Amino acid sequence: MSIAIMCSGGDSPGMNPAIKHFVDYVLSKNLEPYLIYDGLEGLIDDNIRLASYADVAGIMHQGGTKIRSSRSKRFFDIEFRKKAFENLKKRDIAKIIVLGGDGSFRAMNQFYSDFGVSFVGIPSTIDNDIFGTDYCLGVDTALNKIREAIDAIRDTSSSFRRACVVETMGRDCGYLALVSAITSGAEICLIPEVCFDLKSITKRLKNEVQNGRTYIVCVVSEGTKMTQKMVDILENEIGMETRATILGHVQRGGNPTVFDRLMAVEFVTKGVDKLLSGCEGLVIVYKNSKFEFVTIDYVNSDKYSISQDLLLVADRLYK
């Protein structure tokens, strides 16, 4: 029997540990592991290779993904999906582990409906915005990258009595910004999920500066589009020299943390076992500190929301 693994959509730290363990684990079961390079595009273009231990040696500590990833418009066309199926069929591959997000899972679900290729999806995105799971592969590394950046920026801000505005990724999900603001001791956090009161924030900060605050850390989620606005407020209304830092794709790279490596191994182990047991199209999620398998329909049935407990912890940061 042959089983393949692929990455689809944005890359995230933890993908390489998942790929390495996939090959090692499948070989230990005397099965054939295949690597699909370049995601859905590689599936269409037949960029599929039988893997050996040598192909994944020394990648456990590496960020990104050795087999690369892509987004594919061609996969929406049934003719290209048929071509992808033929590429799998000639290698007797009928089961795939997919590292990606909900869009990738929807694409694979359509592929399963068309041709019966079973898959298990592993939620892999630093945005941590997939409904039904508390954790997505790569988010822990991204949070640690942001922590390192904010700690460094705070050092220089405090030295010059400056304010700093740090913009995090996350699309329309403020998870990265919120957790980073809480754990870095920020004074302000703006995320799409809450209504923030700029007048109240300005009044609070003026009072804090009058009472001895000498620098300010503001964390802004990219989905709010408020980075420049906060720079203007801090400089013109608070009267503090301000620097903005947009972290960008640095958050998606770097050595995966121990937690992301361990979760990658657990995700893949359970995913491969589920495929071998004869499952159809499912996603493995991590909910309430437990692994569960859910359907694609469930993952797509609602929008991810940050826990109310976490929002309450940070309540003072956006008021």
> Cα(53)–Cα(67) distance, rounded to whole angstroms?
14
Among all chains, which residue has been given the structure tokens 């054939």?
Answer: 32
* Pairwise CA distance, residues 261 & 141, whole Å: 10
Contact 177, 189 (CB under 8 A): yes
Is 6 within 8 Å of 39 (Cβ atoms)?
A: yes
Task: Supply the residues annotated as catalytic.
Answer: 127
Q: What contacts 129, CB < 8 A, 6 or more positions away? A: 101, 136, 170, 171, 172, 173, 175, 304
In angstroms, the CA 131 to CA 117 distance is 24
Query: 93-100 and 118-123: which strand pairing?
Result: parallel
- What DSSP string describes 145-199? HHHHHHHHHHHHHHHHT-EEEEEE--TT--HHHHHHHHHHT-SEEE-TTS---HH
Helix (H, G, I), strand (E, B) or coil at 7: strand
The residue ranges of DSSP E strands in 178-255, in sequence order, are 188-190, 216-221, 242-246
Angle at which helices 258-276 and 15-28 cross, to 10°: 40
